[in-house]
Chain A
Amino acid sequence: MDLRFTPEENKFREELRTFFTTEIPASIREKVAIGEHLSKDDMVLAQKTLAKKGWAAPHWPKEYGGTDWTPIQRHIYTEELQACSVPQPLAFNVSMCGPVIIAFGTEAQKKRYLKGMYDLSEWWCQGFSEPGAGSDLASLKTTAVKKDGHYIINGQKTWTTLAQYADWCFVLARTDPDAKKQLGISFILVDMKTPGITVRPIQTIDGGHEVNEVFFDDVKVPLENLVGQENRGWDCAKYLLGNERVGIARIGMSKQRLSRVKQLAGKVMNGDRSLMEDSRFAEKVAAVEVELKALEMTQLRVLAEDAKRRSNMPNPASSILKIKGSEIQQATTELLMEVAGPLALPFLPDEADFGSGDHWAAPAAPAYFNFRKVSIYGGSNEIQRNIIAKAVLGF
């Protein structure tokens, strides 16, 4: 047992850090650091920069632009990316739909879509959740009916993240209304410019516009946009949700947030001492740091095991990463809001309104509100517990 990184791994980390901090504009990274919303241009610029270097999707096979990095190197990549506050490559492209196309798609689909996913020249969104299908995703009702060489899609999707920017949507739709639940679902790629699609923004409690409702009204989609077999879309969905675990613990991001919390709490005064010198607050921070260290070690254990198993099945213990990782992320936003104190109150959705002195404080409360989502999306923490109960504990 040796828990140290090798000198080569440390050198690799240095190389990444140098690239991230010199090639990704500081203004963008600062926004990520304080939890401010990014513009579409910010995200596209960051991903294009990574893509040019060949680092936009390290977990993809090399022939599609991925790398042959070891699981540990990939872990270091994710950690450094987050530690340097680089915007993550769009998950819908590189972590969700991309791997599905690689695993289930035809050669023509790979040729047509992967490059655009990789460098974000095409923006993808996820058409999974519906008003009546959240944790119970397989109860979805959107239909795709075959007619005259097309699928005709009707229904409503919701919580569709950044659909307002999207060129494409990967949709789960029911293609066999008589089959039971999971069995009659297909995975279909839909061009967002197709007539019949309406995107309606949802304003969330942080004041932001991140998610949308998407309505499909007789939307005509070519049959060749089916991925995998008809009625076997659930296989794609399961595969996708398994892949979503990559980096889900967001350990690097939480580390960065905590270092920011400590920096700011060292400046904010609480009576005649800094907040960081207040033992109650310092111990609250330390408690989160301990949890985070434990989670980091857990993540490394999962990685080491995955590397040995060489299996495609995600390790069920990785559900722990989602549960604890989300709790810790939420704790960091809570601490930052606590540091901001009364300065967290002003509601200034526009960056221009931030003012000069308390630039960092304005997004503190919105970030806290926004991060309530991390224990809900990608399989809520209660669903994660169900998964562990079944897969690990054998209930």
Chain B
Amino acid sequence: MDFDLSDDQRQIKDSVDRMLADAYADLKTKAAAQKEPLGFSKAMWAKYAELGLLGIPFAEADGGLGAGPLETMLVMEAIGRNAAIEPYLSTVVLGGGVLRHAGSAAQKAALIPDVVAGTRRLALAYQERQSRFDLADVTTKARSDDAGGYVLDGEKVVVLGGDSADTLIVVARMSGNRRDRSGLGLFLIGGTAAGVQRTGYATQDGQRAADIKLTNVKVGAEDVLIGKTGDGLAVLERVVDEAIAAIAAEAVGAMSSLHDLTVDYVKTRKQFGVAIGSFQVIQHRCVDMFTALEQARSMAYYATVMASETDAMERRRAVSAAKVQIGKSARFVGEQAIQMHGGIGMTMEYKAGHYFKRLTMIELAFGNTDHHLSLVAKAGGLIAPAA
């Protein structure tokens, strides 16, 4: 039992912390980056690559750093702490996750070095308009072309980073009915391949996503990640669990910034001739925020450790439990922070709102609190009944 970081981990943490704290010190820089063609700063993305952050989860043999969920947690926490908008989650965690778990040696060799170098961004197109939080609810069709390749037709929505990703990873149904757990394939397609129609937009938290229409999109045999076996869902679930652990850490970063910001604010904001932080009602709310933050931090650690659990049932149960805590804490910390800031919390010129908006989207991402609570309950909870 030990919560310490190794020297290497500390080094990663220090470098990503410093890089993002500098870059996001001024909200004007962020606003300017959002106006760039990609919706974020290309130069910043190059810095991620320079520091080796884009290679974290990939095996050294594939050109990565050979690090794991803990290192990813450190990066995601820093991203959260600064409300950063670079597509790390979509490229490295989601897209990269699928490559790691389902890519062939050739596919990995073709893609991972570019991802690590910052010259190729990925997006995972799994969600559909009707699917809500059900990962198996897929109607996008993959028809075999009888030459080992497939033809894709359908529509994906809210694909994170999907508006500008160089490579899309598409979940499509090869057989079975809409919500069947089997019959799902995973396919690589170019972001601008023939038949791909992307409608990009900004998301509530200042990041980018796209709805993507696929019409007769041809996938060569070399770009099939999961084909005939039809067990794409297991890979998708695993990657989404890793992503939940990652956004749990991001949420912890965002909550800790928001908490600090709020505590500082109420200590300096004067009304009735005194700092409003001298009122017990404010102090106790800050303490409740602190408690919610620490409980969330504990569960983010738990998710990070359990995300690589080999027993899928145990992994899913633990990650869902973590998402419940993260969702509850994020909602509470976010709302309290805005309330205690008063009017200033409502403005885009101030950082609190940026954190609040990201936290609110994190609650909704990959299954909201109610969804995961229901999963935990259906899985029999975390404690066995007495014999």
> Which A residues are closer than 8 A to B by beta carbons?
1-6, 9, 33, 72, 255-256, 258-260, 262-263, 266, 276, 279, 282-283, 285-287, 289-298, 300-301, 303-305, 317, 320, 323-324, 382, 385-386, 388-389, 392-395
Complex contact B386–A263 (CB within 8 A): yes
List, sorted by A's number, 24 A–B pairs whose CB atoms are closer than 8 Å. A2-B1, A4-B1, A72-B1, A259-B386, A263-B387, A282-B381, A283-B373, A286-B376, A286-B377, A290-B324, A290-B376, A292-B382, A293-B302, A293-B321, A295-B298, A301-B3, A303-B1, A304-B2, A304-B3, A324-B291, A385-B283, A385-B287, A393-B263, A393-B290
Complex contact B377–A285 (CB within 8 A): yes
Complex contact B287–A389 (CB within 8 A): yes
Q: How far is the CA of A330 from the CA of B4 in the complex (A)?
A: 33
B321 contact set on A, CB distance < 8 A: 289-290, 293
Given contacts A262-B385, A295-B295, A301-B298, contact A287 B287 (CB under 8 A): no
Best-surrounded residue of B1, B4, B286 (most CB of chain A within 10 A): B1
B263 contact set on A, CB distance < 8 A: 393-394
Complex contact B286–A389 (CB within 8 A): yes
Complex contact A389–B284 (CB within 8 A): yes
Complex contact A1–B295 (CB within 8 A): no
Contact of B383 among A262, A283, A389 (CB under 8 A): A262
> What are the nearest 10 A-B pairs in CB distance?
A297-B298, A262-B385, A286-B377, A282-B377, A263-B386, A389-B283, A263-B385, A294-B295, A289-B382, A259-B386
Q: Interface residues of A: mostly helix, strand, loop or mixed? A: helix
A255 contact set on B, CB distance < 8 A: 383
Complex contact A3–B302 (CB within 8 A): yes
A5 contact set on B, CB distance < 8 A: 1
Shortest Cβ distance from residue A318 to the other chain B in the assembled complex, whole angstroms: 11
The yes or no answer to B51 lying at the interface (CB within 8 A) is no
The yes or no answer to B384 lying at the interface (CB within 8 A) is yes
B1 contact set on A, CB distance < 8 A: 2-6, 9, 72, 300, 303-304
A394 contact set on B, CB distance < 8 A: 263, 267
A388 contact set on B, CB distance < 8 A: 287, 290-291
Q: How far is the CA of A282 from the CA of B376 in the complex (A)?
A: 9
B5 contact set on A, CB distance < 8 A: 1
Complex contact A290–B374 (CB within 8 A): no
Instruction: List 10 extra interface pairs beyond A4-B305, A263-B386, A300-B1, CB under 8 A.
Output: A1-B305, A33-B386, A259-B385, A262-B384, A283-B377, A286-B376, A291-B295, A324-B295, A385-B287, A394-B267
B290 contact set on A, CB distance < 8 A: 320, 388, 392-393
B265-311 CB contacts (< 8 Å) to partner A: 267, 277-278, 280, 283-284, 286-288, 290-291, 294-299, 301-302, 304-305
Shortest Cβ distance from residue B322 to the other chain A in the assembled complex, whole angstroms: 8
The yes or no answer to B82 lying at the interface (CB within 8 A) is no
Complex contact B381–A289 (CB within 8 A): yes
Contact of A3 among B301, B385, B387 (CB under 8 A): B301
Shortest Cβ distance from residue B282 to the other chain A in the assembled complex, whole angstroms: 9
Best-surrounded residue of A72, A258, A395 (most CB of chain B within 10 A): A395
Shortest Cβ distance from residue A392 to the other chain B in the assembled complex, whole angstroms: 6
A6 contact set on B, CB distance < 8 A: 1
The yes or no answer to B91 lying at the interface (CB within 8 A) is no
The yes or no answer to B325 lying at the interface (CB within 8 A) is yes
Name the CB-closest residue of B to A258: B383
Name the CB-closest residue of A to B260: A393
